[in-house]
Structure 1
Amino acid sequence: MRALVPLLSLFLLGGQAQHGSDWTYSVQISLPSTMRMTAADGTVYIAQQMHFHWGGASSKIRGSEHTVDGIRHVIEIHVVHYNSKYKSYETAQDAPDGLAVLAAFVEVKDYPENTYYSSFISHLANIKYPGQTTTLTGLDIRDMLPKNLQHYYSYHGSLTTPPCTENVHWFVLADFVKLSRTQVWKLENSLLDHHNKTIQNDYRRTQPLNHRVVESSFPNQEYTLGSEFQFYLRKIEEILEYLRRALN
């Protein structure tokens, strides 16, 4: 990994999603074109949609598509953007510099309810099945992301869903979104297929770097040690929780 210090911060403008949410391969929120992100090189990207990848409570698999030092997280959030030099997402999606995705990991433990997610999660009952839609108002996407947008990893790769085109500038945030266990359970169990089976493991396995250079906007040691410590601390907490339930 190559560290570039300093890099310019990412800036998000707007962020009120009012176009609705629908099921494709995941929960997806359509975003207004007023929500934009400016990358370190000055490129302005226009938001298109936001979706989630998870493993599932019953599968006991963590569903993030990226790992940091081999550590996988419970859920990964993707905010998909397209380069503002193009007139539309449809035009940009085939261009070599057309797309950017802002990714964030979800951390779960005994946190209180994250109220920025309350309205969104409460609407999931309206989109249980493929193709269903519901309207969301007053949803602030910026509040649904980590507060710190200055610390992130960056590399050039592909979409993780079809058509998996190799034209994506990835920005993977180092800080986490914190959700309660109940909120994560509801999210992981929100979608059903046409056979009434819960849809889980809606993620692509982590792919080899294939000589790609991963850059960071901060000294990597600062977060590597903290992330590893938190990972093992979570494992200990999970074991203690299992023993507590077994003894009750």
Structure 2
Amino acid sequence: MINNGHTVQISLPPTMRMTAPDGTEYVAKQMHYHWGGASSEVSGSEHTVDGIRHVIEIHVVHYNAKYESYDIAKEVSDGLAVLAAFVEIQEYAENTYYTNFINHLANVRYTGQITTLRGLDILDMLPRDLQHYYSYEGSLTTPPCTENVHWFVLADSVKLSRSQVWKLENSLLNYQNETLHNDYRRTQPLHHRVVEANFRSFPNQRE
């Protein structure tokens, strides 16, 4: 896990993979987080649903398995896929699956610092329901913002306590040694893109 000056990023093993509905297999590369945290920005998700922004957004970045590496895949039109999930605040009760990760944030407080996470189960850090999602063809949300990403935005969300959210929003420093806040890209115009969903309703979304 590294503080790269923009977010906290966890490197993932190539054995972790995702298969899209069309059968395309994607290899996991890394996961990272986007949040707000500054006084005027209480929410930091990069996607909105019905105009609503969430407090944090998780991205699990993958590349198309037919390419030899992420560096090759990131340059081609069908190269990348990102699984995204929102975080919602659950009052009082802490998410114990996040305890290990949050405790290690102190070890990467400064830009460039790296630490090793052990015994981390990525599935436990994602929503319980991975089957219902929104999907569209879009771009990376960080430079170079290339438009070659198949997005899968989960309908279900991760629940963290207010204390856990505060720690994630306030534990890291950027290149200027200032608290790393608002590390998200503003919502972009659709530009005639079609956003699809593989479900009609999702009654457990705010469970």
Structure showing greater Rg: 1
The answer on 1:169 being equivalent to 2:143 is no
CA–CA distance in structure 2, aligned partners of residues 166 and 145 of structure 1: 25
| Letter in structure 1 aligned against 2:152 | F
The structural deviation recorded for 1:23 is 2.4
1:159 alignment partner, SS class = coil
The answer on 1:95 being equivalent to 2:111 is no
CA–CA distance in structure 2, aligned partners of residues 123 and 208 of structure 1: 36
Which structure's residues are more often helix, by fraction? 1
Q: 1:98 to 1:24 in 2, by over 3 A?
A: farther
CA–CA distance in structure 2, aligned partners of residues 214 and 175 of structure 1: 17
Match of 1:137 in 2: 118
Unmatched runs of 5 consecutive residues or more in structure 1: 1-19, 231-248
Alignment deviations for residues 89-114 of structure 1 (CA, whole Å, 9 cap, x no partner): 00000010000000000000314111
Unmatched runs of 5 consecutive residues or more in structure 2: none
The structural deviation recorded for 1:61 is 2.8
Contact 1:160/1:204, CA 8 A, preserved across alignment: yes
TM-score (norm 1): 0.80
The answer on 1:150 being equivalent to 2:151 is no
TM-score (norm 2): 0.95
Alignment deviations for residues 4-59 of structure 1 (CA, whole Å, 9 cap, x no partner): xxxxxxxxxxxxxxxx3342410100000000000100000000000000010533
| Letter in structure 2 aligned against 1:69 | D
The structural deviation recorded for 1:195 is 4.3
1:134 alignment partner, SS class = coil
The structural deviation recorded for 1:60 is 3.7
Cα RMSD (Å): 1.5
Contact 1:23/1:127, CA 8 A, preserved across alignment: no
Written as runs of structure 1 = structure 2, the 5 A alignment for 1:1-248 is 20-56=1-37, 58-219=39-200, 222-223=201-202
| Letter in structure 2 aligned against 1:165 | T
Identity of aligned residues (%): 72
Moved over 4 A (4+): none
Alignment deviations for residues 178-198 of structure 1 (CA, whole Å, 9 cap, x no partner): 000110000000111354321
Match of 1:7 in 2: none
